[in-house]
């Protein structure tokens, strides 16, 4: 990267008006963040932040929905304006911007709820590859559902060297490129299927326009979605950004191997003290996509990630703490300690063709995070996994289970958000009594005897439902009770809404 480009980037960081999805050039001197396009959706009930860059001392005038605000461009070329909050509106509005060099207008702007979609390939998975697509495509013509679904540098390029066209975009301000689109059969097919079904259910139940910003990256580890400053400030995890990330043993092995294949013969790759830029590099997706979003109000976040962090014991053991750190960073960045954050628990998978041996422990860590993150929720998907494929194609249930959490937590609807979540396992005489949250109407999903319970994580034991609880007969006092503790779980416990119970390993308490 040329010295002048570095100076410009540094100046933007210092001023605090950085928006690193590139800029939308309106004139030679005047620029907007590239997220500001026709068909944009703005967050309701929050001040509307509009900003950009221009000629110093020029006056910028913003007019939107009958309100006009003006500001003078600062010496560092930045400007920003806050418009008053608005209620949800399904009527398209124009955002008119006048400046020293002319006028620019954005058309068809709606006010509603913006949800950020993050994760790796299962969140990225497009609607056209989803198992319900042929039935769903006729429903996609929905003007109140909007997508910002940018492409990213290196998308769909796997075990090969990145070419020059990709390398040239491995800068934070060039990495994501896209524009807002209205949902229809053409635009929806490439949108995140999980995000689409989530948004459709929110729209149908709440009746406000919904905007989905999809920044998911296939194969990406959690580490790329957390800022370098946050890693550096963490005593436990600052090693994540120590030295060249491609040789850093505190990062997932598979992730570094993929990075090596993409970069080993590439030339002129942008880099810094942590090594060459790449979508998987710690902090890179955060800098390119998440941090710029802090200047824009959102309703909440949905997250489907973990496969890349679930193949080594060390990575599995740390994941709960890493995700908690990420949630804290995001809530601080948006200035909202109650920002809703909902995640997908990994599904079931066999270990014959995939290294899924540690998935039960990983799923249990995701479950335990529920007690650590307020205003959070977890969609359980162990019943809809693909036995020999890390990409289950049923994303409809995933998106709608995430939407249940949002409807319950963010929107205050009376809806069961989850399948049974273990609360306690009490040893009493010769039995274990297992109580569940969201356990109304406990049943087996197939009408057969309960499956999936174990005292050692390996050997199944009988269990039955009695008086709203699960009873497990025992002869001795075990240390734990396990459920769904296989990579490909055969557990069949559900509640009255037919939602599956989560994998768990639970220590016993004793009835005295």
DSSP 475-509: SS--SEEEES-SSS----EE-TT-PBPPPEEEE-E
**For residue 101, what pLDDT band results from cuts at 50, 70 and 90?**
confident
**For residue 510, what pLDDT band results from cuts at 50, 70 and 90?**
confident
> Following CA atoms 167, 121, 196, 367 in sequence, which dihedral angle do they give, to the nearest 10 degrees?
-130
**pTM to 2 decimal places:** 0.94
Residue of 216, 204, 213, 215 whose CA lies nearest to 411: 204
pLDDT in tens, 51-96: 999 999 999 999 999 999 999 999 999 999 999 999 999 999 999 9
User: Residue 301 in contact with residue 342, Cβ under 8 Å?
Assistant: yes
Question: d(Cα 175, Cα 20) in Å, to the nearest integer?
Answer: 9
Per-residue CA distances from 70 to 82, 105, 164, 407, 444 (Å):
10, 15, 42, 38, 63
Q: What is the structure's pLDDT at 13?
A: 35
User: Any long-range contacts for 171-175 (C-beta under 8 Å, 24+ apart)?
Assistant: 171/1, 171/270, 171/277, 172/9, 172/20, 172/284, 172/287, 172/288, 173/9, 173/20, 173/21, 173/22, 173/23, 173/288, 174/22, 175/20, 175/21, 175/279, 175/284, 175/285, 175/288, 175/289
| Annotation: CATH topology of 111-418 | Rossmann fold (3.40.50)
Mean pLDDT, the chain, integer: 94
pLDDT in tens, 402-419: 999 999 999 999 999 999
**For residue 107, what pLDDT band results from cuts at 50, 70 and 90?**
very high
Least confident of 117-121, 124-128, 473-477: 473-477
For CA atoms 176, 178, 180, 186, the dihedral sign is negative
**For residue 24, what pLDDT band results from cuts at 50, 70 and 90?**
low
- In this structure, the strands spanning 180-183 and 300-304 are unpaired
SS3 (DSSP) at 149:
coil
**For residue 436, what pLDDT band results from cuts at 50, 70 and 90?**
very high
For the chain, the domains span: 111-418, 421-510
pLDDT in tens, 29-45: 799 998 999 999 999 99
Question: d(Cα 452, Cα 160) in Å, to the nearest integer?
Answer: 41
% of the chain surpassing 90 pLDDT: 91
Asked whether residue 358 carries a pLDDT value surpassing 80, the answer given is: yes
Asked whether residue 219 carries a pLDDT value surpassing 70, the answer given is: yes
Residue of 334, 85, 43 whose CA lies nearest to 209: 43
Asked whether residue 4 carries a pLDDT value surpassing 60, the answer given is: no
**For residue 116, what pLDDT band results from cuts at 50, 70 and 90?**
very high
Asked whether residue 3 carries a pLDDT value surpassing 90, the answer given is: no
Residue whose pair of structure tokens reads 């109140």 in the numeric block: 144
pLDDT in tens, 320-330: 999 999 999 99
Beta strand spans in 309-441 (E) = 341-344, 376-379, 421-428, 431-437
């Amino acid at each position: 990267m040329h010295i002048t480009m570095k100076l410009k980037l540094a100046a933007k960081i210092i001023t605090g008006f950085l928006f690193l999805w590139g800029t939308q050039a309106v004139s030679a001197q005047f620029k907007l963040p590239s997220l500001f396009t026709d068909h944009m959706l703005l967050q309701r009930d929050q001040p509307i932040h509009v900003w950009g860059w221009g000629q110093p001392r020029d006056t910028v005038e913003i007019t939107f929905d009958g309100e006009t605000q003006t500001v003078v461009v600062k010496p560092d070329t930045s400007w920003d304006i806050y418009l008053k909050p608005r209620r949800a509106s399904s009527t398209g509005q124009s955002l008119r911007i006048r400046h020293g060099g002319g006028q620019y207008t954005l058309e068809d702007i709606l006010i509603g709820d913006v949800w950020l979609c993050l994760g790796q390939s299962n969140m990225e998975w497009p609607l056209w590859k989803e198992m319900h697509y042929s039935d769903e495509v006729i429903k996609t013509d929905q003007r109140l559902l909007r997508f910002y679904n940018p492409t990213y540098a290196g998308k769909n390029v796997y075990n090969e060297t990145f070419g020059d066209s990709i390398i040239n975009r491995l800068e934070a301000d060039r990495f994501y490129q896209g524009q807002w689109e209205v949902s229809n059969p053409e635009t929806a097919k490439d949108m995140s299927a999980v995000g689409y079904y989530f948004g459709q259910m929110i729209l149908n139940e709440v009746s406000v326009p919904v905007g989905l910003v999809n920044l998911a990256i296939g194969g990406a580890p959690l580490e790329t979605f957390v800022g370098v400053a946050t890693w550096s400030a963490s005593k436990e995890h600052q090693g994540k950004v120590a030295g060249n990330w491609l040789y850093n043993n505190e990062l997932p092995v598979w992730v570094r191997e993929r990075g090596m294949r993409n970069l080993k013969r590439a030339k002129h790759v942008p880099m810094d003290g942590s090594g060459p830029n790449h979508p998987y590099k710690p902090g890179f997706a955060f800098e390119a996509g998440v941090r710029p979003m802090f200047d824009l109000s959102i309703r909440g976040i949905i997250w489907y990630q973990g496969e890349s962090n679930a193949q080594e014991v060390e990575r599995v053991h740390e994941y709960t703490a890493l995700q908690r750190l990420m949630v804290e960073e995001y809530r601080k960045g948006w200035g909202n300690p109650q920002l809703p954050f909902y995640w997908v628990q990994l599904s079931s998978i066999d270990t014959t063709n995939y290294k899924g041996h540690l998935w039960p422990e990983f799923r249990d860590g995701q479950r335990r995070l529920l007690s650590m993150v307020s205003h959070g929720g977890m969609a359980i998907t162990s019943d809809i996994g693909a036995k020999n494929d890390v990409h289950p194609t049923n994303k409809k249930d995933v998106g709608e289970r995430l939407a249940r959490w949002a409807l319950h937590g963010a929107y205050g609807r009376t809806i069961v958000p989850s399948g049974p979540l273990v609360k306690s396992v009490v040893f009493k005489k010769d039995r274990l009594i297992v109580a569940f949250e969201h356990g109304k109407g406990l049943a087996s999903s197939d009408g057969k005897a309960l499956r999936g319970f174990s005292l050692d994580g390996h050997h199944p034991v009988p269990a039955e439902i009695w008086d709203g609880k699960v009873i497990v007969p025992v002869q001795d006092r075990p240390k734990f009770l396990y459920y769904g503790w296989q990579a490909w779980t055969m557990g069949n416990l559900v509640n009255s809404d037919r939602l599956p119970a989560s994998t768990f390993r639970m220590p016993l308490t004793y009835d005295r």
